[in-house]
Each structure stands twice: as C-alpha cells, then as structure tokens.
C-alpha cells in the first residue's frame, strides 16, 4: 500500500510540475506576442458613463488604462462611435478623439497615440500602449471627404463604412437584412431611400481611404456593400469585429463566400466577443434578462444615455445573472477554428468589442482575461508563431500593407 501511495504522490508531483510549466509557457508566449485588438468602445463608454479611463474602472467597464497593461495589450484601436440618430456626428467623433488625447497627455509614460507602424514599434519598445482610432460608421464623416482626411490626420486608421444605419452612399447589414425580410409592399412603404451597396460617392470614399492609408472596415456592412467594396479597394481589407455566419447565423456575421473573399484579398477578420454573434441561442436568453430589467433601462435612457450603454449598465448591476446566460469561450474559439480552416491562420485576429457589448463569453469578463485565449490556442495545437499572428501580427500586417 505504501508503494501505491508513493507512486500516487510522485504522479501528483509530476502533474503539478507539468501544470506549472504549461502555465509559465502560455504566459511567456502571451508576453512575447504583440497583442493588438482592433475594436474597443471604451471612449464611448467613458463619456456615456461619465468615467475617466485612466482610473480603476473594475466592475464598471471591461477595460481601463491599467488593465490594458495587465492584459498584455500592446496596440489598441479605440472605436469612435455614435448611433445614426446623433446630431452632428463629426463633432461627436472629435469629442471622443479629444478624450483619448487628454488621457495620453495626462499619462505620457503609459500611452502614446501613434500615427504609423514605426510609431507602434517605438511605443511597444518603451512599454507604452500604442493607441489609434477606428471610426465606426461612415455617417460620422457627414458625406465630406475633407472630414475623412481630417480624421485620418488625428490618428484614425480605419473606418467602418456603415454602422447598423445606412448612409446615403452605403447600405448596412441591418438595413439590407431588414429589407430582405419584408414583403414587397412593406419594402415600398419603407421608402427604400437608396439602392443597396455603394453608390458613386461610396466608391470615392474607398479610393480616398486607399490613398490615405486608412483601412477599409467591412464589419456592419450589407452584403452588396461588402462585394462593392471588395471590388473597389486596392488594399487588404479589415473586418474589425465579426464572426462566422455558418456557426451563428446573424446579420452581422460573414458568410462563407465573404470569408473566402477576405482571404483572397489578403485581409483579416477580427473576432467579436459579443455573445449573440457567437451563440445563436443567446439572444433569446438575453431578451428575457433585459425584459425583466426594462424599467431600469428606460430610466437610464431618459437621462440621455444611448440605449446600448443603458443595457451595459444593467449588466454591470446584475453581473451574476448576466454571466449565467453567456456562452463559453470554447464557442468563440470555434469561430476562430472555422475561419482558419477556410482561409488560413494569416487572416484572423481579435476585435473584442469590449465596452461596446453587453455580454461576452463566460471566461472573458474583461481585458485581463486575454491570456486565457493564448493558453487555449496553445492547447488546441496552434504553434507559438500562429499565436503571435492571431493575437496581433495579422492586424499589424494589414495595417502596414495600407502604405505598400
């Protein structure tokens, strides 16, 4: 019996040592990777919730300046967003950009707003967060190419052609899918303000972005807009925060032929962490959860808060209930595997949508959980080189290619 006990103790010691080795390995790989996230809505969240992102915001947001460092995030593209109903969206965009410039001025040793790939390398070498902007919605340039260029000059390095709302020059995925589900009479009653896809000005927008070196972001756009943009652009495209339609058939995800087209174009698809874009059954659970809290949501909206952030506040208030209905991280990684199997490991990355979503996978409660993705990728058989690409290398390649 004592020999059996001795053998079991030896086995336990070996297992413990192996676990310690594995733990050190994934943390080391994560630390060495240049971690780059293409989409975080903290700027909007800080304004909507009246917060300062260089303070400790645990329990209030998914991220803050200190937690980016803890998470090993080296490069963050901050989303500049407002919904389609916001008056003077260009002014709002500049207000959000001003917010980050103020943070950078207060924290020069922690964060640097960068302009190009060379700046990114310098910031990372100095252990600073390299920060850029991505405008989420073409309505924010107000139909003016001069405003597009002005935003580029302030550090905007991609523009999502549409948010859920269409512009006069591009149709959104939400609008295209809504029209597809209407009968002909209802579609006519809706007015169908414009044809689907890009019009002539929309194609001029793409050409201007190519000339500037600004990534064309195809998240949120309708299928017709997607194909028009792919055929117009001369540079690799970005899909900043979307997943695979085959695994989760919602209007915001990419169908197989779209995934294939991004691969052929040399672009990159950045995975969105929103539970409803990962798990098609989540929306039903979320609807029941939010319906039960509708009065509180309405009271927040009545103060002037945008609906998306009112819902986010409710999730923060009822954290345990919220996490209970969320899908596991495994379902997010299934989207990653699916895209890799179709077009290769060079065309996928991370576009979390943190602080712009009301629910993420159970294990990914905030940015500090990013190392868990690195750990899971290694466990799934991805090499260190693969992990470096997925966690940031692919996004940086596409960004650099805008100036080739």
Residue 146, exposed/middle/buried by CB under 10 A (0-12, 13-18, 19+)?
Answer: exposed
Beta strands in 206-292, from DSSP E residues, in sequence order: 215-217, 238-239, 268-271
The tally of domains found in the chain comes to 1
State both tokens at 61.
């947001």
State the chain's mean pLDDT as an integer: 91
Q: What is the pLDDT of residues 267-287, one digit of tens each?
A: 999 999 999 999 999 999 989
Residue 1 falls within a domain, yes or no? no
Q: What is the pLDDT of residues 167-191, one digit of tens each?
A: 999 999 999 988 766 444 444 433 4
Rg of the chain, C-alpha, whole Å: 22
Residue 55, SS3 per DSSP: coil
For residues 84 and 93, what is the distance between their CA atoms, to the nearest angstrom? 12
CA 69 to chain centre: 18
Q: What is the pLDDT of residue 194?
A: 61
pLDDT at 18 over 90: no
Q: What is the pLDDT of residue 24?
A: 82
Residue 243 falls within a domain, yes or no? yes
Average pLDDT, integer, range 35-50 = 96
CA nearest to 46, candidates 33, 55, 38, 37 = 55
pTM for this entry = 0.90
- List phi, psi (to 5°) of 248: -145, 90
Residue 17 falls within a domain, yes or no? no
Q: What is the pLDDT of residues 313-370, one digit of tens each?
A: 888 888 888 889 999 999 999 999 999 999 999 999 999 999 999 899 999 999 999 9
Average pLDDT, integer, range 70-76 = 98
DSSP string, 271-339: EP--GGGT-TTHHHHHHHHHHTTHHHHHHHHTTT--HHHHHHHHHHHTHHHHHHTSPPHHHHHHHHHHH
Average pLDDT, integer, range 381-386 = 98
CATH value at residue 70: 3.20.20.140
Specify the higher pLDDT residue, 239 or 288: 239
Q: Which domain holds residue 289?
A: 34-401
Q: What is the pLDDT of residues 224-259, one digit of tens each?
A: 999 999 999 999 999 999 999 999 999 999 999 999
Residue 7 falls within a domain, yes or no? no
For residues 71 and 63, what is the distance between their CA atoms, to the nearest angstrom? 9
Residue 15 falls within a domain, yes or no? no
User: Which residues, 6 or more positions from 200, have their beta carbon under 8 angstroms from its beta carbon?
Assistant: none
Residue 281: Cβ within 10 Å count: 11
Specify the higher pLDDT residue, 336 or 6: 336
Residue 13 falls within a domain, yes or no? no
Confidence class for position 21, pLDDT limits 50, 70, 90? low
Residue 23 falls within a domain, yes or no? no
Strand partners, 159: 135, 216
Q: What is the pLDDT of residue 191?
A: 42
Residue 24 falls within a domain, yes or no? no
Say what percent of the chain tops pLDDT 90.
Answer: 80
Q: What is the pLDDT of residue 190?
A: 38
Do 63 and 355 contact (CB within 8 A), yes or no? yes
């Amino acid at each position: 019996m004592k020999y059996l006990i001795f053998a079991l103790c030896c086995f336990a010691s070996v297992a413990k040592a192996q676990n310690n080795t594995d733990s050190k390995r994934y943390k080391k790989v994560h630390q060495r990777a240049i971690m780059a996230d293409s989409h975080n809505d903290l700027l909007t969240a800080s304004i909507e919730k009246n917060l300062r992102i260089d303070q400790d915001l645990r329990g209030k947001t998914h991220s803050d300046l200190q937690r980016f460092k803890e998470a090993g995030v080296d490069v963050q593209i901050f989303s500049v967003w407002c919904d389609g109903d916001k008056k003077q969206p260009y002014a709002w965009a500049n207000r959000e950009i001003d917010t980050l410039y103020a943070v950078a001025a207060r924290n020069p040793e922690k964060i640097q707003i960068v302009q190009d790939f060379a700046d990114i390398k310098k910031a990372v070498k100095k252990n600073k967060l390299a920060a850029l902007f991505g405008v989420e919605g073409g309505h924010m340039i107000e139909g003016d190419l001069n405003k597009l260029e002005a935003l580029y000059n302030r550090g905007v390095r991609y523009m999502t052609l549409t948010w859920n709302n269409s512009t006069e020059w591009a149709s959104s995925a939400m609008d295209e899918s809504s029209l597809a589900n209407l009968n002909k009479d209802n579609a006519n009653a809706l007015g169908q303000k414009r044809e689907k896809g890009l019009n002539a000005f929309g194609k001029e927008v793409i050409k201007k972005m190519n000339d500037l070196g600004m990534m064309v972001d195809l998240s949120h756009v309708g299928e017709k807009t997607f194909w028009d943009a792919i055929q117009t652009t001369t540079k690799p495209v970005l899909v900043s925060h979307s997943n695979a339609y085959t695994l989760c058939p919602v209007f915001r995800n990419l169908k197989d032929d779209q995934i294939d087209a991004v691969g052929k174009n040399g672009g990159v698809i950045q995975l969105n962490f929103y539970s409803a874009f990962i798990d098609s059954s989540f929306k039903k659970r979320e609807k029941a959860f939010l319906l039960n809290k509708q009065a509180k949501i309405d009271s927040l909206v009545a103060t002037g808060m945008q609906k998306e952030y009112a819902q986010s506040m409710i999730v923060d208030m009822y954290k345990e209930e919220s996490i209970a209905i969320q899908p596991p991280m495994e379902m997010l990684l299934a989207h990653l595997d699916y895209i890799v199997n179709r077009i290769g490991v060079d065309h996928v990355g991370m576009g979390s949508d943190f602080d712009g979503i009301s629910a993420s996978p159970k294990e990914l409660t905030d940015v500090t959980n990013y190392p868990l993705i690195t750990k899971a990728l290694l466990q799934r058989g991805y090499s260190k080189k693969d992990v470096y690409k997925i966690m940031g290398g692919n996004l940086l390649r596409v960004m650099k290619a805008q100036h080739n």
